[in-house]
Amino acid sequence: MKRITVLMLVFALVIAFSLTGCSQPASDEVSGDMTDMEYVLDKGVLIVGITDFAPMDYKDANGEWIGFDADMARDFAEYLGVDVEFVEIDWDNKIMELNSKAIDCVWNGMTLTDEVKNGMECSNPYCNNAQVVVVPADVADKYKDKESIAELTFAVEASSAGEKVVNGLGYESIAVQTQSAALMEVAAGTADACVIDLLMAGAMIGEGTSYPQLTYTVALNSEEYGVGFRKGSDLAGKLNEFFSKSYADGSMMEYAKKYGVHESIIPQ
């Protein structure tokens, strides 16, 4: 009888220990209970996924990230009370980078496509844009409409709005890593043309720029930029609040004029 009582006591202790162990959440479960904003505030830094994309995100002579988006992201981090860190990403993997928490947002002149809106929690649109065809200036007169460019081979950034438009029109394309690389393909003569964002074209091609021999002709669409966070993130609403404040106090337009995008800003 005594032996049975001891065995029952041991059994009860094992069960109690097992239940206690199961009730202790793993560290990732604790972080999973946080809102996205709490997660960023807890680690003290907002990690911003970008590519090299003037005039939105690019490096100055000292290697510091600047541009309209970079400056706004830096101010937003300050608004939250955290530091900011910029990380260059493969644009093709932007949603995966977000979901893995390698970055906290994608803030890089990102077009609000259906794919983006389905895969991310997006801010209100803040900037108008279009996808435009860039060709050598000495042949630009030949390419003034969609019909005249149909036989060209286009360099496009992989998984970009430009690639989507080109593929949707049935044009031949070569996918490269960035829009900057797409411009280089045209400058080198390895692609007939490229399709990039209008705002980038305004900053990067023509007289007084890095590519004075290139120009843009046909606009293939119209679109809007937004910032993407993890699906369900409360940071999107916080950014909308910040956008409204920065538009009202004039700081958004001040940055926009600094980088030449003021005519494209959407009132907040």
* φ, ψ at 67 (rounded to 5°): 120, 170
Is residue 4 domain-resident?
A: no
The pairing of beta strand 214-219 with beta strand 131-136: antiparallel
Task: Based on the fold, state whether residues 210 and 228 are members of the same structural domain.
Answer: no
Same domain, 217 and 230: no
Q: What is the pLDDT of residue 140?
A: 97
What is the tally of structural domains in the chain? 2
Let me know if residue 15 belongs to a domain: no
The chain-wide mean pLDDT, for the chain, equals 89
pLDDT of residue 266: 97
**Torsion angle (degrees, nearest 10) of CA 132, 134, 135, 136:** 140
Domain match, 172 and 51 both: no
- pLDDT band, very low/low/confident/very high, at 33 (cuts 50, 70, 90): confident
Please report whether residue 16 resides in a domain: no
Radius of gyration of the chain (CA): 25
* CATH code, 96: 3.40.190.10
In a domain, 192, yes or no: yes
- 120 shares its domain with 247: yes
Greater confidence, 23 or 225? 225
Residue ranges making up the domain that contains 190: 131-221
| Alpha helices in the chain, H assignment, sequence order | 2-23, 27-32, 36-43, 68-80, 94-99, 114-119, 161-169, 179-188, 198-204, 235-248, 251-258
Which 3 state secondary structure label does DSSP give 63?
A: coil
Query: Are 59 and 110 in the same domain?
Result: yes
The string of pLDDT tens digits covering residues 109-152 is: 999 999 999 999 999 999 999 999 999 999 999 999 999 999 99
Instruction: Choose among 40, 45, 75, 73: nearest CA to 57.
Output: 73
Task: Read off the pLDDT of residues 176-220 as tens digits, 9 standing for 90 and up.
Answer: 999 999 999 999 999 999 999 999 999 999 999 989 999 999 999
